[in-house]
A and B are shown apart, each in its own frame.
Chain A
Amino acid sequence: MSVIGANPLRDAQDRRLPRIAGPSGLVIFGVTGDLSRKKLMPAIYDLANRGLLPPGFSLIGFARREWEHEDFAQVVYEAVKEHSRTPFREEVWQQLVQGCRFVQGDFDDDAAFETLKSTIDDLDKAQGTGGNFAFYLSVPPKFFPKVVQQLKNHGLAQKEGSWRRAVIEKPFGHDLKSAEELNKVVHEVFPRDEVFRIDHYLGKETVQNILALRFANTMFEPIWNRSYVDHVQITMAEDIGIGGRAGYYDGIGAARDVIQNHLLQLLALTAMEEPGSFHPKALVAEKLKVLTAVELPEDLGKHTVRGQYSAAWQGGEKVVGYLEEDGIDPKSKTDTYAAIRLEINNRRWAGVPFYLRTGKRLGRRVTEIAVVFKRAPYLPFESGATEELGQNALVIRVQPDEGITVRFGSKVPGTSMEVRDVTMDFAYGESFTESSPEAYERLILDVLLGDANLFPRHQEVELSWNILDPIEEYWDKHGRPAQYPAGTWGPVEADEMLARDGRSWRRP
């Protein structure tokens, strides 16, 4: 990436030429897992299919399974066939399969890491990967210290003249202390700039579009402040239960699982000031500023709510409650729903509450950011005319059905003056490509290019825990989660929490 200026074939004006990663390879730990099969392998194939991977790109799988290289290639082949977004092409597969290797072993197994090392050396010779490798730790966090230590012990974490990067998935700890420990463990082995934390939300087009919407246009930014904005609601709802994740989920809960990373990142992007440039440092500086300015409500009991889904009919199916799920302690206090109110102490946002909520087994699967505006200060209409007029709102739909909705009042056709809410819609799928890259595609490519813009830095992770920890502590000591029937939009306590502020939740 550093030689672009020196390459006579490159020109900033030549925007047809895509950014192709330099010679490199990817090592996936925990390659037999779901994430690896459903997301990572297909994303790698799609990247290759779009011509964005370097020739000779290599993929090494590391797992306990007793596989030969061919077995591994077969698994990748099936994963690609089933889950890739771009059409399957034999020649692309031929390019990819030449660099597929498998290393069998445990994380304790020194011999396996030696094999990994020699495999990497072989690939450098056979495929020309130039010693540049990213290590994707698609394993539970308790194995992180072990794996990174092994990488260090076997001299895999650093190599003269080439890069070595670590890619880690959430959760980044379960509170501030554990997050700091985790960061310490990883940073001991990999330099800070070479650690990439995946928050797949940041790889989504709609999330990146928040920045375009705000900073490329003139019509939104002037009203993007406390003078016009009444409040902001950020929602991430899932319609599924915990499924097979009981072991991981119990004791963690919705707030740690979702609010700490995804929702606070969305809040940061929605509320931050304009960065001086899109350089990663400039961007992270603005995000840190806004996260530092976040203030918790004084009375946590009144302005935070947690809940657990109870058995009910959801969308035509009978589902069990959280406490009856397999592997869950019937006395568990883990939250499957969490709603909190935050404020941001700066000139732009003082006094504007940000309501964050997330939950499982809610009405439907949706993630959105709703910026709700104040009512017009004076309405020159007859009193009945605007009865059905709500507050103007701008909604960024992150998933599914990505797009933007604007809600405003309009006259109902007829002889009398009557104003009612209408919506104006921008759907991504309508105006742009059907085959926009999947979040993981973009993120893997950015790892290979060394572009850290879409990855939360360790300070952001720590600041987010700083915000959430007091709430979790309060919840630990006070009361139990409220119950809400599966398939609804959360417990009544959450509605009451907004009603106290004279507001109500949007139905997303």
Chain B
Amino acid sequence: MKIDLTETTSSKINAALVQARRDIGTPAIGMVLTLVIVTDEENAYDALKSANDAAHEHPSRILVVIKRVSRSPRSRRDARLDAEVRVGADAGSGETVVLRLHGELVNHAQSVVLPLLLPDAPVVVWWPDDAPPDVARDPLGALGQRRITDTYASENPQDALTQRAAAYAPGDTDLSWTRITPWRSMLAAALDQQPVKVSSVAVEGEAENPSCELLAMWLADRLQVPVRRMSSDGPGLTSVRLETKDGDIVLDRADGSLATLCMPGQPDRAVALKRRDTAELLAEELRRLDPDNIFEAALKFGVSKLGAESPAAAPAKAEAKAAPADSPETVTGPKADSAPAKPAAKPAKKAPAK
């Protein structure tokens, strides 16, 4: 069931939601969270589609906040709220409200969203693209205990990661991090099987893919060893190589779906590592709503290193002692922290004693 409301208010939308539920004969609500999607007209359709798919696993009230661009001074002065209420079969397994904000209202979106949040249920805010620089302090972001961004969609992913790390607040998360869960779990499983000491790591993937950086930073943070980030044509991540004294553990995925795991002294094995679509990523993201400390550690660990070792700034830093001098893209272990760094570089929190 679909109800269109023009020039409306939050309380009229609430009334429409209650009415719509009564009309379809299911007044009870079993939704577990409110998902606020902040987007523009252009991306709203895809984002909502993914959210509806994810809602099969997490029945939710989905609020799509579309900030309309005003093209004349007159329309900028006008404030108007239009809403589209979808309940029942039209809204997957929850309910959806598409909110279109015009004019000055664009700057006060939280006033529209706040009355529409489900009582006592968690709130998740998702920016499919164009996230504000500091999501936790954003008026809409402040409403949620979980804030999902996607650095993959940004113009310069490396800068975006630095930005996210600088502004990180507990509850922030990024879909580029979600994308690498299968890789991380496979690598962890590999080390479960062969608990050997890793001496260095190489991560290879698309140049513009922040998932590669995040995986590299996570490995560097956890293993405390130098990590090289190398570029390939993709798709996505293509390989991870853990060097150990017994030989290399290699997880290699050339085609974006079926990977090969090679471990010293063991036969090569096929591993399904399919690139997942946004709905699946979102569903994973909604499974846990507490702060992701591991993400925080990985994100913050790498920032300084990435800053110091990014291709542009590389030549000056190439002599960092833990890193091979000829590899400009090296993300080094914490040792390199003692190397002279840009002012932005902070000492890694977990500098080991060695």
Q: Which of the 9-residue segments A1-9, A100-108, A172-180, A328-336 touches chain B?
A: A1-9
Q: At the interface, yes or no: B137 with Cβ under 8 Å from chain A?
A: no
Asked if residues B30 and A434 are in contact (CB atoms below 8 Å), the reply is no
Q: At the interface, yes or no: B43 with Cβ under 8 Å from chain A?
A: no
- A265 CB, min distance to chain B CBs, angstroms: 28
| Bound CA–CA A410/B191 (angstroms) | 58
Asked if residues B184 and A92 are in contact (CB atoms below 8 Å), the reply is no
Point out the residues of chain B lying under 8 angstroms from A4, CB to CB.
Answer: 192
Among the listed A23, A48, A49, A95, which residue makes an inter-chain contact with B258, where contact means beta carbons less than 8 Å apart? A95
Q: At the interface, yes or no: A412 with Cβ under 8 Å from chain B?
A: no
- A197 CB, min distance to chain B CBs, angstroms: 27
Nearest opposing residue in chain A for B255, CB measure? A91
Asked if residues A16 and B288 are in contact (CB atoms below 8 Å), the reply is yes
Q: At the interface, yes or no: B272 with Cβ under 8 Å from chain A?
A: yes
Q: Which of the 9-residue segments B4-12, B81-89, B261-269 touches chain A?
A: B261-269
Interface positions, chain B 167-202, Cβ under 8 Å from A, are: 178, 181-182, 184-189, 191-193, 195, 198
Q: At the interface, yes or no: B157 with Cβ under 8 Å from chain A?
A: no
With most chain B CB atoms within 10 A of its CB, the pick from A16, A18, A435 is A16
Point out the residues of chain B lying under 8 angstroms from A49, CB to CB.
Answer: 272
Q: Which of the 9-residue segments B56-64, B128-136, B227-235, B335-343 touches chain A?
A: B56-64
| Bound CA–CA A13/B221 (angstroms) | 14
Asked if residues B195 and A16 are in contact (CB atoms below 8 Å), the reply is no
Asked if residues B267 and A16 are in contact (CB atoms below 8 Å), the reply is no
Asked if residues B294 and A7 are in contact (CB atoms below 8 Å), the reply is no
Nearest opposing residue in chain B for A18, CB measure? B185
Point out the residues of chain B lying under 8 angstroms from A7, CB to CB.
Answer: 188, 191-192, 195
Point out the residues of chain B lying under 8 angstroms from A98, CB to CB.
Answer: 269-270
Interface positions, chain B 236-294, Cβ under 8 Å from A, are: 257-258, 261, 263, 266-267, 269-274, 284, 288, 292-294
- A298 CB, min distance to chain B CBs, angstroms: 46
0/1 interface trace, chain A 81-109, chain B, CB 8 Å (1 if under):
00000000111101100100000000000
Interface positions, chain A 179-234, Cβ under 8 Å from B, are: none
Point out the residues of chain B lying under 8 angstroms from A128, CB to CB.
Answer: 263, 266-267, 269
- B interface secondary structure, majority: mixed
Asked if residues B271 and A17 are in contact (CB atoms below 8 Å), the reply is no
Q: At the interface, yes or no: A126 with Cβ under 8 Å from chain B?
A: yes
- A365 CB, min distance to chain B CBs, angstroms: 23
Asked if residues B271 and A95 are in contact (CB atoms below 8 Å), the reply is yes
Point out the residues of chain A lying under 8 angstroms from B271, CB to CB.
Answer: 55, 95
Q: At the interface, yes or no: A11 with Cβ under 8 Å from chain B?
A: yes
Point out the residues of chain B lying under 8 angstroms from A390, CB to CB.
Answer: none
Q: At the interface, yes or no: A15 with Cβ under 8 Å from chain B?
A: yes
Q: At the interface, yes or no: A275 with Cβ under 8 Å from chain B?
A: no
Q: At the interface, yes or no: A378 with Cβ under 8 Å from chain B?
A: no
Point out the residues of chain B lying under 8 angstroms from A92, CB to CB.
Answer: 272, 274
Q: At the interface, yes or no: A426 with Cβ under 8 Å from chain B?
A: yes
- A226 CB, min distance to chain B CBs, angstroms: 33
Asked if residues B266 and A432 are in contact (CB atoms below 8 Å), the reply is no
Point out the residues of chain A lying under 8 angstroms from B182, CB to CB.
Answer: 51
| Bound CA–CA A98/B28 (angstroms) | 48
Interface positions, chain A 245-287, Cβ under 8 Å from B, are: none
Asked if residues B270 and A55 are in contact (CB atoms below 8 Å), the reply is yes
Point out the residues of chain B lying under 8 angstroms from A433, CB to CB.
Answer: 56-58
Q: At the interface, yes or no: A487 with Cβ under 8 Å from chain B?
A: no
Among the listed B181, B223, B269, which residue makes an inter-chain contact with A16, where contact means beta carbons less than 8 Å apart? B181
Point out the residues of chain A lying under 8 angstroms from B267, CB to CB.
Answer: 56, 125-128
Asked if residues B188 and A17 are in contact (CB atoms below 8 Å), the reply is yes
Point out the residues of chain B lying under 8 angstroms from A430, CB to CB.
Answer: 30, 59, 93
Nearest opposing residue in chain A for B291, CB measure? A13
- B16 CB, min distance to chain A CBs, angstroms: 21
Asked if residues A3 and B192 are in contact (CB atoms below 8 Å), the reply is yes
A10-B192, A127-B267 known; A16+B272 contact, CB < 8 A: no
Point out the residues of chain A lying under 8 angstroms from B56, CB to CB.
Answer: 433-434
Among the listed A9, A91, A427, which residue makes an inter-chain contact with B184, where contact means beta carbons less than 8 Å apart? A9
Point out the residues of chain A lying under 8 angstroms from B108, CB to CB.
Answer: none
Asked if residues B270 and A94 are in contact (CB atoms below 8 Å), the reply is yes
Q: At the interface, yes or no: A431 with Cβ under 8 Å from chain B?
A: yes
Among the listed A15, A51, A130, A434, which residue makes an inter-chain contact with B57, where contact means beta carbons less than 8 Å apart? A434
| Bound CA–CA A433/B54 (angstroms) | 9
Point out the residues of chain A lying under 8 angstroms from B321, CB to CB.
Answer: none
Interface positions, chain A 416-456, Cβ under 8 Å from B, are: 425-427, 430-435
Among the listed B28, B30, B270, which residue makes an inter-chain contact with A95, where contact means beta carbons less than 8 Å apart? B270
- A122 CB, min distance to chain B CBs, angstroms: 11
Q: At the interface, yes or no: A20 with Cβ under 8 Å from chain B?
A: yes
Q: At the interface, yes or no: B222 with Cβ under 8 Å from chain A?
A: yes
Asked if residues B274 and A89 are in contact (CB atoms below 8 Å), the reply is yes
- B248 CB, min distance to chain A CBs, angstroms: 16
Q: At the interface, yes or no: B322 with Cβ under 8 Å from chain A?
A: no
| Bound CA–CA A48/B274 (angstroms) | 12
Asked if residues A427 and B30 are in contact (CB atoms below 8 Å), the reply is yes
Additional 11 contacts, C-beta under 8 A, given A51-B186, A433-B58 = A7-B192, A15-B288, A16-B288, A20-B188, A20-B189, A20-B192, A56-B269, A89-B274, A91-B274, A126-B267, A434-B93
Pull 30 A–B residue pairs with CB atoms less than 8 Å apart, ordered by A.
A3-B195, A7-B188, A7-B192, A8-B191, A8-B198, A8-B222, A8-B223, A8-B224, A9-B184, A13-B294, A14-B294, A15-B288, A16-B184, A16-B294, A17-B184, A17-B185, A51-B182, A51-B185, A55-B270, A56-B266, A56-B269, A90-B257, A95-B272, A126-B267, A430-B30, A430-B93, A432-B57, A433-B57, A434-B56, A435-B57
6 smallest CB-CB distances across A and B, nearest first, come from A430-B30, A56-B269, A9-B188, A55-B269, A128-B266, A91-B258
Q: Which residues of B contact A (CB under 8 A)?
A: 28, 30-32, 56-59, 93, 178, 181-182, 184-189, 191-193, 195, 198, 219, 222-224, 257-258, 261, 263, 266-267, 269-274, 284, 288, 292-294
